[in-house]
Structure formats: structure tokens, C-alpha cells
């Protein structure tokens, strides 16, 4: 064991005493654990040819949970001491009251390792990273004289966790993360437009620092900005829409994925509640949540309760067949945990969350899907959006989109927003491309104030009758 290895129940806390306190807190409970975490992170930002910020953060702490029925007692502390643990155990114990529960069986063991445990921050010297940000800035400005502003951010982190359960099970995971993001603003004849690109995953920075990789990102960001420079105002109305592959899966994630999380369905607040076994999408549509894809941003060897991550089919050939579950909701719904119990940090209790959520591809040539549009929109890139989980209604803005008439692309459009609801959109899918792709590693998902990294993906999709909000007169 190295001096820096994170083993809190051998260093900061006495393992047997910690187990004794946890068992006392969970007498008569259904479940519980101590979740210990250490995290280090670094973030650099170059904007307008200057280093605007450079930060390095380190934190550690634990959370202790006791669960009985729908009630959760949770206490956490940044002090990794037995005194703090005793106080946390006494607090969490209040949720159990007089008990009556039967402690759930521990998670199944696993040896799966989906990513390296190497610290991505130490992979390159600080000065090398700063030089790279400046080099990217210079490269983008040299590509086109219309570039007036460049922003480049680089981030890396290492999260180490250890879970101690009442029956004595101990589980560990070490999770790296790295990411590079570029945005560029171009100007011509007084008009300014922007474009962005980026990516990363559970690996070291060497991937995104590779010259071929970051130059590809830079060219893509510039391409999008130049497309938007000649874009016309988007039309408004009801149109058939072809969504591009990869990152546009964020619409699937938001408008459909959240509605398939176990807690929303147990409480009856999801648009998909009570529809298990029923058709909820067009034939051929299969949606999965898969946390087992190596090195992906949303992947986890085990979830934050210790359950091994899995490849979970949610919708199969248009039929709803599964929800994403943490241990508590699975138990209350009489189902199995699916490896989707996730938390932002030791300061948060786990809940059902997505990992990498995507739709499988079909057999159609993407070009044929666009050619089928008589008067429609080809939406290639997406920005922000809003979704109401209770009914699946969404509004998403397009960062790159094109007007299509009689099967031919007429012009790029700006200001387009897609409006609809996830349940209806699923039933109106008329074509599935053979180009299924995952996003490049950019997603972060928010739920109940907690943020976790996720992945999305899909093939090109032809959807009939989506409302498009635009600015054209």
C-alpha cells in the first residue's frame, strides 16, 4: 500500500470501531453504509489570450446513511475522525426509530475495472498545460482571420471512494476524469457567432492533449462558428426533424431518461409511471443505460452504493422493460438494483441516476433520412434545454441546424428550438440511422441539486411533427 493510497478504514478511522458504530446506527434498518471519499481536482481557463483562472482543490470526508422504508437518515463530515463518525451515526439513527426492518443483502461482488486508477492531474507538468492552452489559442487564430476570441478550459480530477457496509463488506473504486473544452467567436461585417467543441472521459489528460485530438476539436469549433455566421433566422411551426447522431442524445437523456429513473416512477410523478410492459415508443426503438463502457465519462465500475454497474435495457423494440434503480427504490418497488445509485459526493445521499444513456441504431442511411424531409429541420447540435419530468415536455436550443426542403439542405438556421414531450416524440420516430454514436465526453447531469458526469448517444433519428420555435417573420 502506497503512502498516498486512500484507505480510510485503515488510516483515518479504526475499521472495527467504524463497523460497530454503523451497525448500531442500522439496527432495525433496511440498509445503510459509510461512504468515504477523497477527491482532488485541477481546472485551468484561458480566455481572450490570458490565463483567467487556475485552481487546485482537494477534499475528503464521509457520509453515513441509515434507511428504513422511504425514510433516510444521512449525516456527513469533512472530519475523518471517530468522534465525527459517532455523531453521524447518532444522527442517522434517528431515521430508523424503533426499527422493524430487515437488513438487505449486500451488493454482488465484482472484479470489473473499466478505467485506469492513475491520477490524471500528475500526468503533465503545470507549465506544459499552460503552454498547451496558449498553443490552442494561437492555432485557432491562425486558422481564420475572422476569429476574434478563443476560450480554452482543461480540467482533471481523481475521486477515490471506499464503502463500508453493516455486514462488514468493504468496496473500493478509484475514478479518474479529464476534459478539454474549446469555444471560439468569429466576426464578419459586424456580425458575431460562436462555436464550441470538447471531450474527455475516465482517462488521463494525455488523450485530449494529443495534437491530433485537440486540433480536431479546434477545427470543429471553428466550423460550427462559421456555419452560424451565415445562418438565417429559423422558421417557426411544426416540422419533421432529423436529429444528428451522438451529442443530440442529450434530448433523449433529458426528455426520456429522467422519466425512467426508479424514484420518479415509484412516486408516480413520471410520464412513464405504470407503463411497464406497454409500448411507449415506435417499433425498432431500443434505449439502454450502460455504465460498463470502458473509459466513458458516465461509466462506473461500481455505483456509489457498491452495486456493480450494468448494461440495462430500458425500452426494447418500443416496449418499456426496465427502470434505473438504486437499492432503496428497487427494494420498495420489488425490483433489483441496477447499479444506478449515484451521488455527487460524500455530502449527498445516493439516488437513481443515469450513467451512459443511448438509443441503438437502425439500418437507414442518414443521408436518406434527410432526403425524406419535404420541409423540415436537420438538427445537428444542441445546447441547453429544459424538461418537466412529470410530463416529459422539453424545450431544447439548437447550436447547429439546417432548413431542408424537398430533401435538399437549403441553408443553416439559427435560433431554432425544439419543443415537445418525450413520450410523444418516441412514438413519432420514423427512421433510425445506422450511425449510432456516443457523445465525445461532455455531459454533466443535474438532479435534486446534485451533479454527476454522464454520457449520451443515439443514431440519426427522423421524428415527425415536432414543434420548432424560431425567429423568422
The residue-averaged pLDDT of 54-83 equals 97
Each residue's pLDDT tens digit, 326-372: 999 999 999 999 999 999 999 999 999 999 999 999 999 999 999 99
User: Radius of gyration (Cα) for the chain, nearest Å?
Assistant: 24
Q: Supply the CATH classification number for the domain 15-229.
A: 3.30.2290.10
d(CA 90, CA 83): 11
pLDDT recorded at residue 284: 97
Q: H or E element: which one contains 72?
A: strand 71-77
Q: Indicate whether 180 pLDDT > 60.
A: yes
pLDDT recorded at residue 84: 98
Q: Indicate whether 5 pLDDT > 90.
A: no
pLDDT recorded at residue 361: 98
Least confident of 1-10, 183-192, 217-226, 250-259: 1-10
Task: Calculate the alpha carbon distances from 194 to 94, 151, 153 in Å.
Answer: 53, 11, 16
pLDDT recorded at residue 98: 87
Unique residue bearing C-alpha cell 422493524: 100
Each residue's pLDDT tens digit, 288-308: 999 999 999 999 999 999 999
pLDDT recorded at residue 346: 98
Say whether 143 sits in a helix, a strand or coil: helix
Confidence at 384, pLDDT banded by 50, 70, 90: confident
Say whether 231 sits in a helix, a strand or coil: coil
d(CA 381, CA 50): 28
- Provide the phi-psi class of 206: left if phi over 0, else alpha when psi is between -120 and 50, else beta: alpha
pLDDT recorded at residue 296: 98
Confidence at 389, pLDDT banded by 50, 70, 90: confident
Each residue's pLDDT tens digit, 122-172: 989 999 999 999 999 999 999 999 999 999 999 999 999 999 999 999 999
Q: H or E element: which one contains 203?
A: none
pLDDT recorded at residue 71: 96
Confidence at 2, pLDDT banded by 50, 70, 90: very low
> What percent of the chain is modeled with pLDDT above 90?
94
pLDDT recorded at residue 32: 98
Return the DSSP state at 50: E
Each residue's pLDDT tens digit, 413-470: 999 999 999 999 999 999 999 999 999 999 999 999 999 999 999 999 999 999 999 8
Domain boundaries for CATH 3.30.2290.10 within the chain: 15-229
pLDDT greater at residue 388 or residue 417: 417
Q: Indicate whether 473 pLDDT > 60.
A: no
pLDDT recorded at residue 386: 79
Say whether 391 sits in a helix, a strand or coil: coil
Amino acid at each position: 500500500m502506497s503512502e498516498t493510497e486512500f484507505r480510510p478504514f485503515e488510516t483515518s478511522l479504526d475499521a472495527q470501531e467504524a463497523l460497530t458504530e454503523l451497525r448500531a446506527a442500522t439496527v432495525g434498518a433496511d440498509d445503510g453504509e459509510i461512504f468515504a471519499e477523497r477527491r482532488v481536482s485541477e481546472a485551468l481557463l484561458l480566455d481572450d489570450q490570458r490565463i483567467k483562472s487556475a485552481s487546485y482543490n482537494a477534499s475528503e470526508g464521509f457520509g453515513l446513511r441509515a434507511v428504513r422504508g422511504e425514510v433516510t437518515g444521512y449525516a456527513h463530515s469533512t472530519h475523518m475522525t471517530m468522534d465525527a463518525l459517532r455523531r453521524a451515526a447518532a444522527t442517522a439513527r434517528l431515521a430508523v426509530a424503533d426499527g422493524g426492518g430487515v437488513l438487505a443483502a449486500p451488493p454482488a461482488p465484482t472484479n470489473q475495472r473499466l478505467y485506469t486508477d492513475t491520477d490524471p492531474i500528475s500526468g503533465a507538468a503545470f507549465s506544459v498545460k499552460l503552454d498547451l492552452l496558449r498553443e490552442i489559442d494561437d492555432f485557432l487564430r491562425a486558422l481564420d482571420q475572422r476569429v476574434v476570441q478563443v476560450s480554452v478550459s482543461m480540467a482533471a480530477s481523481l475521486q477515490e471512494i471506499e464503502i463500508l457496509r453493516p455486514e462488514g463488506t468493504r468496496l473500493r473504486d478509484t475514478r479518474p476524469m479529464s476534459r478539454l473544452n474549446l469555444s471560439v467567436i468569429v466576426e464578419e461585417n459586424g456580425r458575431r457567432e460562436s462555436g464550441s467543441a470538447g471531450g474527455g472521459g475516465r482517462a488521463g489528460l494525455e488523450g485530449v492533449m494529443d495534437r491530433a485530438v485537440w486540433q480536431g476539436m479546434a477545427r470543429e469549433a471553428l466550423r460550427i462558428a462559421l456555419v452560424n455566421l451565415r445562418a438565417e433566422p429559423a422558421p417557426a411551426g411544426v416540422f419533421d426533424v432529423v436529429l444528428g447522431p451522438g451529442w443530440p442524445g442529450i434530448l433523449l437523456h433529458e426528455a426520456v431518461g429522467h422519466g425512467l429513473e426508479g424514484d420518479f416512477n415509484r412516486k408516480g410523478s413520471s410520464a412513464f409511471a405504470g407503463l411497464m410492459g406497454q409500448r411507449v415508443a415506435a417499433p425498432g426503438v431500443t434505449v439502454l443505460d450502460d455504465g460498463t463502457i470502458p473509459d466513458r465519462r458516465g461509466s462506473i465500475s461500481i455505483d456509489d452504493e457498491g452495486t456493480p454497474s450494468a448494461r440495462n435495457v430500458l425500452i426494447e423494440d418500443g416496449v418499456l422493460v426496465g427502470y434505473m434503480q438504486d437499492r432503496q427504490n428497487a427494494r420498495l418497488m420489488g425490483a433489483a438494483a441496477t447499479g444506478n445509485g449515484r451521488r455527487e459526493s460524500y455530502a449527498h445521499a445516493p439516488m437513481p441516476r443515469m450513467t451512459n444513456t443511448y438509443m441503438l441504431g437502425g439500418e437507414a442511411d442518414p443521408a436518406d433520412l434527410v432526403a425524406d424531409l419535404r420541409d423540415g429541420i436537420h438538427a445537428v447540435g444542441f445546447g441547453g434545454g429544459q424538461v418537466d419530468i412529470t410530463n416529459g415536455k422539453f424545450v431544447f436550443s439548437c447550436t447547429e441546424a439546417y432548413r431542408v426542403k424537398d430533401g435538399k439542405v437549403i441553408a443553416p438556421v439559427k435560433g431554432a428550438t425544439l419543443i415537445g414531450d418525450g413520450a410523444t416524440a418516441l412514438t413519432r420516430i420514423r427512421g433510425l440511422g445506422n450511425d449510432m454514436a456516443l457523445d465525445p465526453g461532455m455531459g454533466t447531469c443535474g438532479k435534486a441539486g446534485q451533479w454527476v458526469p454522464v454520457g449520451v448517444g443515439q443514431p440519426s433519428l427522423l421524428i415527425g411533427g415536432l414543434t420548432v420555435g424560431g425567429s423568422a417573420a
